Amino acid sequence: MNDVTRASASDFAFPKFKTQFTEFIGIADDGHLWVDGCDCAELARTYDTPLYVISENQFRLNYRRFRGAFAAHYPNVQILFANKSNRGLAYRHIMNQEGAGGDCFGINELYVALMAGTDPATLVLNGSNKEAEEIATAVANGVCINIDAMDEVERIAAEVQRQGRPARVGIRAKLELKPLENRFGVVMHGPGSLAEQARNHKWGMTLPQSVELVKRVQKTDGLEAVELHYHLSRMSNVPDDFAVMAREMVQWSADIRDATGWEPPYLDIGGGWAFGRPEKTGPFGEDDADAPAFEDYAKAVCEAVIEECETRGLALPGLKIEPGWSISGSSGVALGRVGAVKEWPGFKKWINVDLSGNHIPPPWYHHIVAVEKADQPAVETVDIVGPLCSSDELGEHRELPALERGDLIALLDTGGYTEVKAANHNGQLRPATVLVTGADAFVTTERERLRDIVGRFRVPPHVLAASAARA
Ligand SMILES: Cc1ncc(COP(=O)(O)O)c(C=O)c1O
């Protein structure tokens, strides 16, 4: 069984579906797509389209399953929800209630987490080019800062001195991942093997640089090094890839200890786990019903850390994990309405919808369901396209029931990295998000309005004057 269909023993009231996509999203007896106790057709009527819909119960359940998977294999685990995957204030509140910490990128993710009342001691600030304001806010609130540049120690130290407060820091590593030198078939940071892609991106400090950074931290009053950090990036759902990463983090810890005497109290292994489902949703449509699950990932990583710590004579560090998509992704769907239906007979049919690439950033594959015809057989192969001036393909060659103007479609697994990446290309307004809890729905992000776009425009006086002169 894969991540999103595995039954979970918990205290949730599970809805009954005749076809289940996740525990809280499925096709009900009326043949419609439902999110928990809400008919998606009704949601579209009430809140209009395009619309993001998130199931509170699914979001919580994913978190609990994730945490449970790691807690089953490791004594000291902290889950830090990657706020970047869904930065909404309501979602941060929910994660706080579940006991999750958070990974923050940039001042605004940090600000939202603090605004929601997240315990700052459970947050980390990541980023390759941190602004002075981020560092100042992190220091003021006691948030751990993961250092990702040689001059960052001095920048943090200056802030520590200015505020007269100590700071906790980590080091973001640039692992070599040599065992993955010939691991091909994943694409996130350009072509090449997984090791090559990890090498080519901007993140992290080499081992000699990390040693040097730890020495500088040791010499600086008010700074305490508390973790070694790495994030593999959403490239894989192969547990062994993550085990290679975890093992190398322990090896680095031992090398850093030998050079400095500092043993990282925590390993922060980032996020990046990519789930799959039978409809082939997942990293580039590769997954299927046999795809590994959270549990396999957690087991592989924890065993690698425990084994390697024994080999290298290290005390077991605490483990932090920063999952984003694996918690938020399957908790949501995006709804769109069909407009023009166009056909080149014998060649192709295009179903235009009001959802677009502005709302569903590529390249992820999303399973598409006809909301009110969800249990009808597929009768044709169509391209689902958005209204943008690009080709705006949301789903090529999809087998679906006959769709006509006014029908609704849903893209599954859009609970993460959709609203946060939504754009305004062609002046398109960004959708609202509703949170569904049982039979209730609440707007958690308002639909954007024209004033939100044009309200930021300014016309320089000389340009105004030239227009006036022409009149
Ligand atoms: C440092 C860090 N941690 C965690 C994550 C979350 O990754 P995912 O959503 O793939 O789990 C990211 C994603 O970019 C990241 O950059």
- 138: Cβ–Cβ under 8 A, 6 or more apart, which residues? 110, 125, 144, 145, 167
**Distance from the CA of 92 to the center of ligand 1, in angstroms?**
16
- Please report whether residue 242 resides in a domain: yes
Q: Are residues 445 and 364 in the same domain?
A: yes
- Please report whether residue 280 resides in a domain: yes
CA atoms of 178 and 236, how far apart (whole Å): 16
- Please report whether residue 390 resides in a domain: yes
**337 to each of 218, 247, 379, how far by Cα in Å?**
58, 48, 19
Q: Are residues 49 and 109 in the same domain?
A: no
Query: pTM for the full model?
Result: 0.95
Q: Are residues 335 and 211 in the same domain?
A: no
Q: Are residues 323 and 346 in the same domain?
A: no
Is pLDDT of 62 > 90?
A: yes
**Residue 4: pLDDT band with limits 50, 70, 90:** very low
Q: pLDDT value at position 285?
A: 59
Q: Are residues 232 and 121 in the same domain?
A: yes
Q: pLDDT value at position 189?
A: 83
**Residue 257: pLDDT band with limits 50, 70, 90:** very high
Q: Are residues 301 and 371 in the same domain?
A: no
Could you give phi then psi for residue 348, rounded to 5 degrees?
Answer: -160, 155
**Residue 272: pLDDT band with limits 50, 70, 90:** very high
Q: Are residues 246 and 354 in the same domain?
A: no
Q: Are residues 39 and 72 in the same domain?
A: no
Is pLDDT of 283 > 70?
A: no
User: Could you give the number of structural domains in the chain?
Assistant: 2
Q: Are residues 151 and 291 in the same domain?
A: yes
CA atoms of 70 and 100, how far apart (whole Å): 13
- Please report whether residue 2 resides in a domain: no
Chain segment 400-438, per-residue pLDDT in tens: 999 999 999 999 999 999 999 999 999 999 999 999 999
Nearest CA to ligand 1 atom 9: 324
| Residue range 9-19: mean pLDDT, rounded | 86
**Distance from the CA of 296 to the center of ligand 1, in angstroms?**
19
Of the residues 309, 329, 349, which one is the last residue of a structural domain? Answer: 329
Cβ pair 366, 360 in contact under 8 A? yes
**Distance from the CA of 56 to the center of ligand 1, in angstroms?**
21
Nearest CA to ligand 1 atom 4: 271
**Distance from the CA of 364 to the center of ligand 1, in angstroms?**
15
Is pLDDT of 10 > 70?
A: no
Q: pLDDT value at position 237?
A: 85
- Please report whether residue 24 resides in a domain: yes
**Distance from the CA of 428 to the center of ligand 1, in angstroms?**
27
**372: domain CATH number?**
2.40.37.10
Of the residues 329, 360, 381, which one is the last residue of a structural domain? Answer: 329
**Residue 282: pLDDT band with limits 50, 70, 90:** low
Q: pLDDT value at position 294?
A: 86
Neighbours of 57 (CB within 10 A): 23
CA atoms of 414 and 422, how far apart (whole Å): 12
Torsion of CA 396, 402, 407, 411, to 10 degrees: -30
The average confidence (pLDDT) of the chain is 94
Q: Are residues 335 and 280 in the same domain?
A: no
- Please report whether residue 9 resides in a domain: no
Which residues form the domain of 383? 19-54+330-454
- Please report whether residue 80 resides in a domain: yes
Nearest CA to ligand 1 atom 3: 270
Lining residues, ligand 1, CB within 6 Å: 82, 84-85, 103, 126, 231, 234, 270-273, 322-326
Angle at the Cα of 201 (from 223 to 104), degrees rounded to 5?
45
| Residue range 74-86: mean pLDDT, rounded | 97
Cα 100 versus chain centre, distance: 15
Q: Which atom of ligand 1 is nearest to the CA of 329?
A: 9
The verdict on whether omega for the bond into residue 50 sits within 30 degrees of 0, i.e. cis, is yes
Is pLDDT of 280 > 70?
A: no
**Distance from the CA of 321 to the center of ligand 1, in angstroms?**
9
Chain segment 288-315, per-residue pLDDT in tens: 677 888 899 999 999 999 999 999 999 9
Is pLDDT of 5 > 70?
A: no
Of the residues 311, 329, 347, which one is the last residue of a structural domain? Answer: 329
Q: Are residues 78 and 43 in the same domain?
A: no
Q: Which atom of ligand 1 is nearest to the CA of 229?
A: 1
Q: Are residues 353 and 324 in the same domain?
A: no
Question: Ligand 1, residues 91, 234, 241: which to mutate, most atoms within 8 A of Cβ?
Answer: 234
**375 to each of 8, 26, 131, 223, how far by Cα in Å?**
25, 10, 51, 59
- Please report whether residue 3 resides in a domain: no
Buried b or exposed e, range 312-340, using 16+ CB within 10 angstroms: bebeebbbbbbbbbbbbbbbbbbbbbbee
**181: domain CATH number?**
3.20.20.10
